[in-house]
Amino acid sequence: MNLSIQHSDFGLKNTDITPIKFPLPMQYMGGKGRIVDKILDGISSRFTKTNKFIDLFAGSGVVSFEAMLRGYQVSANDIQPYSSVVLSSMLNFSLDGIDYLINKLSNISDNEIFSHARNNYLADYNIERNFINDLNKNLFNWDNYRNFCESTFLCSGKKSEIDYLKKHEQWSLFLAYYRNTYFGIKQSAEIDYLRELSEGLDENLKCHLMASVISSLTYCVSSTTHLAQFLKPTTEKNTICLLKKRALKITDMVIQRLKLLKKLNFYRGGVVLNSDFKDAIKDLNLSSNCIVYADPPYFKEHYSRYYHVLDTFVLYDYPELTFNKRINGITKGRYRKNRIVSDFGKKNTARNAFSELCDSCNIYGNKLAISYACSSIVEKDFFYNIAKEKHLDLNVLEFELVHTGQGQARHKKVTEFLFLLSNE
């Protein structure tokens, strides 16, 4: 085994890349936006004779998108449904008709947003609108708003309620499940309206609309940097911030993203899968000219928990909610039942999962790049040992990052590793 360790100041830059704005930005835990250039510089420097890039846990698509801009033939996979939609929009689907969609969204009215069963929530929206108007006039009573939020009756996620909603209140899932929690009342109605609208579009426009909504939700959600816990109105200061966020118009954000997608005037032609990593490896015809890039979850429910609301938007399946025996009620985050669990996030299965991933180098001859911030689940020495065990060459790059707390002032220094493995 040959072993090389480098720090991130190796000075490689591709100066021929034309800057193109990332069209579907997301507030995303573990996102590689700050170091994507360093990751791809390191990969291209080590593996010079590869032209196919497989992003195995593609998430928000930041790395896949940049790899495509650099000329790689990109295949992107992720097991989470929301990710598959975002990836398909950026990397694959035709952009024909986006002008029609932008024009349609630019002219929607509150009457359309609160049409059909959503009209049942119009009275609540009028109350919310009065609070927003009072805030703009410096007349806001935060305690009254807190009482309004706390008195909101939401779907319990029980089968009897779900069956009723499916039959009598179609296209009002977010209003029934999430108003005054993750989103405001009008925001919830917008989400339901946009999801209903998507069903009447062709496959391409449906994908672009849904992807643009998914991206927007991560910025207007009533939370910190993810969608695992919503913020509650507990003080005057945080309640004012909360209501300002709930006053944001989701449709305006969606239009901005559609306009960015429209600017992707280059051949994309990426392949997108929505599979477990083992199935993706089998289905993607790996070979010696392929780079497999893996940025696996660090926790067992890393993304299915933190972004469960996005999956619900895509699936729109009126999910049963997880029951917490300790509090004798549904979980505070209103999580879906039967969320996806990753072997990479469990101490008793992570090593075997990484071992299977490394086996691909010997079975198919592909190159492998693993992004990982070594933790108590898998330590750095594990990668040295497994490379030696499987007779693989290993290069290691290190990137120093500062992570902020979830909406808090604290900062934490983190070392991200890029393990580059091959059987050469």
| pLDDT single digits (tens) 376-385 | 789 999 999 9
Instruction: Flag whether pLDDT at 139 surpasses 90.
Output: yes
Percent residues over pLDDT 70 in the chain: 92
pLDDT band at 389 (very low <50, low <70, confident <90, very high): very high
pLDDT attached to residue 327: 86
pLDDT attached to residue 17: 45
Place of tokens 């280059």: 266
Instruction: Flag whether pLDDT at 302 surpasses 90.
Output: no
Instruction: Flag whether pLDDT at 23 surpasses 70.
Output: yes
Joined tokens for residue 201 = 């579009």
Percent residues over pLDDT 90 in the chain: 75
The CA distance from 346 to 340, in Å, is: 13
pLDDT attached to residue 86: 98
Joined tokens for residue 290 = 């392929």
Instruction: Flag whether pLDDT at 81 surpasses 80.
Output: yes
In what order do the strands lie in the sheet containing 411-422? 3-7, 393-404, 411-422, 367-372, 290-294, 52-55, 73-77, 271-273
What mean pLDDT is predicted for residues 113-118? 97
pLDDT band at 11 (very low <50, low <70, confident <90, very high): very low
Locate the domains of the chain by residue range: 3-92+268-300+341-422, 98-262
Place of tokens 């899932």: 173
pLDDT attached to residue 339: 83
Q: 365-386 as b/e, with b when 16 or more CB fall inside 10 Å?
A: ebbbbbbbebeebbebebbbeb
Instruction: Flag whether pLDDT at 121 surpasses 60.
Output: yes
Instruction: Flag whether pLDDT at 407 surpasses 70.
Output: no
pLDDT band at 15 (very low <50, low <70, confident <90, very high): very low
171-184: per-residue pLDDT in tens? Answer: 999 999 999 999 99
Tell me the CATH number of domain 3-92+268-300+341-422, given options 3.90.1560.10, 3.40.50.150, 3.30.1330.10, 1.10.3720.10.
Answer: 3.40.50.150
194-233: per-residue pLDDT in tens? Answer: 999 999 999 999 999 999 999 999 999 999 777 888 999 9
pLDDT attached to residue 14: 41
Instruction: Flag whether pLDDT at 419 surpasses 90.
Output: yes
pLDDT band at 51 (very low <50, low <70, confident <90, very high): very high
pLDDT attached to residue 303: 73
Question: Within 13 A of 85's CA, how many CA atoms are on the CB side?
Answer: 23
DSSP character string of 168-194: HSTT-HHHHHHBTTTB-HHHHHHHHHH
What mean pLDDT is predicted for residues 344-368? 94
